[in-house]
Amino acid sequence: MELLERLAECIETGKADEATSFLPEQRGQKGASELTMEALDLGFSPGEILSEALIIGMNRIGDKFSSGKAFIPNLLISAKAMKAAMIHLEPFFKTGEAQYKGTFVLGTVQGDLHDIGKNIVKMVLQGSGWNVIDLGTSVSADKFIKAVEENDAKFMGMSALLTTTMLNMDKISSELKSRFGDLKVFLGGAPLSQQYCDKIGADGYFADPRSLVKYLETY
Ligand code: B12
């Protein structure tokens, strides 16, 4: 089987490394960690590994969860496998630039614990020369306000993966924009859209971190 497909399968089945296995046929086989290193050694780019293996595996387990064929423990082990793979990609996204392009405050909105996508956004922004203040998950408006103030940030991004928690972006965005007139607020995450972004008066929705970075170059 092709390497990236094997890697996607490891994410889907939650096989983080050689030592972990939930399926008997996977015993003793390489997991997400080893296969990611192998893919890098073979010359696959970190971006390719992310979009053509890791995210595909995550989407598959998400679809199974939607149709009742997978459960919370499956999501958890897939997330663990994803993190085991991402550890190897992180150094490639780190920038060697001495001077930052600016400071970007980032967090997953209140009530939401999904952080895999947010962590990818962080890596890509850092790799493009941004100083990222990562507030973690379930971040309240007050926490965003404190971070923007303390770091004199002109840009911030919120992530949400639930249709319920994305609604918290409205209050957080309004509060921040009324306090900091020149702050640009960006949104991302699977349930978001430009339409919702316009509705709450935020400054832009981006489906992936690369398009956000491209947009930021215009400032
Ligand atoms: C892994 C996972 C979990 C893990 C999260 C682990 C972790 N540390 O993140 C755990 C098990 C904890 C979990 C819990 C739950 N989950 Co969940 N989860 C997922 C799953 C399978 C993958 C999410 C993921 O990591 N995707 C991969 C990343 C790379 O993609 P991404 O987050 O979309 O990010 C990309 C872009 O969107 C964008 N992006 C993201 N954020 C931002 C921000 C900015 C500023 C920008 C520019 C871009 C950007 O860039 C990223 C890279 O390209 C999804 C299914 C899916 N296909 O998404 C369900 C899913 C999101 N979960 C779901 C649900 C229902 C839940 C629970 C409510 C389940 C429950 N009953 O308890 C809980 C909620 C917990 C909480 N309060 O947050 C539903 C949401 C349904 C809905 N419409 O709201 C989904 C869609 C599954 C499904 N199909 O039903 N989950």
State which ligand 1 atom lies nearest to the alpha carbon of 164. 84
Domain(s) of CATH 1.10.1240.10: residues in the chain: 3-93
Most ligand 1 atoms within 8 A of CB, residue of 156, 161, 215 to mutate: 161
Nearest atom of ligand 1 to the alpha carbon of 161: 61
Architecture of the domain delimited by 102-216: 3-Layer(aba) Sandwich (3.40)
> Does the 3-93 domain belong in CATH 1.10.10.10?
no
Q: Which atom of ligand 1 is nearest to the CA of 118?
A: 41
Residues facing residue 157 across a β-bridge: 106, 186
In which residue ranges of the chain is CATH 3.40.50.280 found? 102-216
The sign of the CA dihedral 28, 33, 36, 41 is negative
Q: Which residues pair with 103 in a beta bridge?
A: 131
How far is ligand 1, taken at its centre, from the CA of residue 202, in Å?
21
What are the pLDDT tens digits along the chain (219 aa)?
A: 799 999 999 999 999 999 998 888 888 999 999 999 999 999 999 989 999 999 999 999 999 999 999 999 999 999 999 999 999 998 888 766 667 889 999 999 999 999 999 999 998 898 888 999 999 999 999 999 999 999 999 999 999 999 999 999 999 999 999 999 999 999 999 999 999 999 999 999 999 998 999 999 998
